[in-house]
Structure 1
Amino acid sequence: MDYKIYKYKTLNELVGANHIFASILNDFGIRFYEYPELTLEEVCKNRGLLIEKVISQLEKYKDDNSIESLKLFTLPVDLIIEYLKHAHHIFIKRRLPYISSLLRGAEKVKPEHEQIIQDLKFVYPIFVEDFIHHIYQEEDTLFTYITKLQKVVSGDLPAAKLFFELEKHSVRKYAVDHEIHEDELEGLKKITNNFDLKDQSDIHMNVIMKELQSFEKELKIHASIEDEILFPKALMLEKEVKKMLSDNKGSN
């Protein structure tokens, strides 16, 4: 690894070449827009960071601009739910706060971008609040219900325990509702012309748009895992539990 590729470049040069670097530097407590003209070596010295460790992370994730497509079809429902919960945790604890910090730090953007930043600073917190509420609601209702279905099928919970819940819940209805609310970023996309930035010379603004694009891509992958893997598996579980209850009723 040639450390000179990184150590003598300014943060603006690094982030301008690859927006992913802004997020990685942020993990080390380095906000690129606070030290735009300092080299990585200078910033690491000032902050007491081991430059080799920082460069190692930059090198590791330099091409990581999308979530790896995971093959979850063969996994049981409980593991799929745990994966989705982990993704929720990353969204809430890392992704959303990072974009918030980028918006807070956007004080010196080009004049033509000032109105977009003002609008985002107003709308983004509202989006975050609604998004987090949706996530917790999904975990408390849908995920809990599916987990109970699996416990019944695996013999860890009596089918009779879900008699009333089967009347109250419906995987198919959850799936339809999920499809209706799928484009949660619609409001932000309207403000930013679908996160499209024609003039990419404003590095800070470009990083914000790239991060919003990446977040949208992650959400689409997340939604496809729910739509194409979780819901079909959950429908099968629900059908099986209903059959178990019907068989029990017939034998009594």
Structure 2
Amino acid sequence: MGKSALKDKLISELVEQNYVHAYVLFYFGIRFYEYSELTLEQVCKQQGLRVEQVIRELEAPTHLREADLPLASYPTDLIIEYLKHSHFLFIKHKLPYIARLVENFHANHDDYKNVERDLKLVFPLFVEDFIEHIYEEEDTLFHFIQAMERASKGKFVPTRLYHLLENNSIQKFAMGHEVHDDEMEGIRKITSDYAVTVKTPLHIRVLFNELKAFEKSLITHARIENEILFPKAMALESKVKQMLFDTAKYN
């Protein structure tokens, strides 16, 4: 689509065309539900934005997907850095955006009044629990794996490594991780599996689409941890235990 065609489109039409446009506009300070009946060019003039720059971002290809990366071939430290970057995007970008959509969700529609009430109650609690889980994972699981990675390269004090292995195990982390694998079950029930129709108001369609996409990201994220990180970490743990055993044997 040409640039002139985009700049002359109503904000509501841009979002109808592609729900991801709402997310791009959000980070330019444009809340689609506040400017739905203005064209992109009109809004950019109001906000002091260069319409060409906004259009470039709207037309930019989507970010690289996890499926496009050879994560299984990555060493554990790179996988952890990748997962931490995903955590950052979840906490600093996606969740604030969805939270704002929930906060400004005004059903004005009998079919969605209960959904509005329940989401405004449940979603902030979900975010709080999710962020707590993320930080706990980084402070415990990731910290343990990184310590083993250093130990595997000979950088360890035997007594400290012994206590670290005594107090932690990848198997325990993996079992605890399963508890968090369906964190959005409650939200899925509230939204009836993000069900929409052609009559569903635009704001709700955008919100449900974002919730569905976020859940999909979480499923992929959990798969990377369960199918790639944990097996590699278990192998690393076995290697480090053998190294510690060999060190004790020759001392």
Shorter-chain TM-score bucket reads over 0.9
Aligned equivalent of 1:67: 65
Determine the C-alpha separation between the residues in 2 that align with 1:68 and 1:200: 33
Aligned equivalent of 1:7: 7
1:81 to 1:151, Cα distance in 2 relative to 1, 3 A: same
| Residue 174 of structure 1, CA deviation | 0.8
Q: C-alpha deviations, 1:90-128, integer Å up to 9, x for none?
A: 111111110011111222543311210111000000000
Aligned equivalent of 2:100: 101
Identity %: 48
Counterpart AA for 2:167: K
Aligned equivalent of 2:221: 222
Counting matched residue pairs gives 250
Q: Does 1:77 align with 2:76?
A: yes
Q: Secondary structure at the match of 2:33?
A: helix
1:244 to 1:66, Cα distance in 2 relative to 1, 3 A: closer
Q: How does 1:232-251 map to 2 (within 5 A)?
A: 232-251=231-250
| Residue 200 of structure 1, CA deviation | 4.9
Q: Secondary structure at the match of 1:165?
A: helix
Determine the C-alpha separation between the residues in 1 that align with 2:154 and 2:246: 15
Determine the C-alpha separation between the residues in 2 that align with 1:4 and 1:190: 42
Counterpart AA for 1:33: Y
1:85 to 1:6, Cα distance in 2 relative to 1, 3 A: same
| Residue 86 of structure 1, CA deviation | 0.9
1:237 to 1:162, Cα distance in 2 relative to 1, 3 A: same
| Residue 28 of structure 1, CA deviation | 0.5
Q: Secondary structure at the match of 1:197?
A: coil
Q: Secondary structure at the match of 2:114?
A: helix
Aligned equivalent of 2:45: 45
| Alpha-carbon contact 2:107-2:116 (below 8 Å) kept | no
Determine the C-alpha separation between the residues in 2 that align with 1:187 and 1:117: 14
Q: How does 1:35-184 map to 2 (within 5 A)?
A: 35-61=35-61, 64=62, 67-69=65-67, 70-107=69-106, 109-184=108-183
| Alpha-carbon contact 2:11-2:32 (below 8 Å) kept | yes
Aligned equivalent of 1:33: 33
Counterpart AA for 2:43: V
Determine the C-alpha separation between the residues in 1 that align with 2:108 and 2:223: 35
1:119 to 1:3, Cα distance in 2 relative to 1, 3 A: same
Counterpart AA for 2:197: K
| Residue 4 of structure 1, CA deviation | 2.4
Counterpart AA for 2:119: L
| Alpha-carbon contact 1:160-1:245 (below 8 Å) kept | no
| Alpha-carbon contact 1:149-1:237 (below 8 Å) kept | yes
Counterpart AA for 2:31: R
Aligned equivalent of 2:186: 187
Aligned equivalent of 1:208: 207
Q: C-alpha deviations, 1:157-185, integer Å up to 9, x for none?
A: 23442101111111011112212320000
- RMSD of aligned C-alpha atoms? 1.6
Counterpart AA for 1:49: L
Moved segments of 4+, more than 6 Å: none
| Residue 33 of structure 1, CA deviation | 0.3
Counterpart AA for 1:198: T
Q: C-alpha deviations, 1:32-87, integer Å up to 9, x for none?
A: 000110000100011110001101111114xx388341211222211111111111
Counterpart AA for 1:17: Q
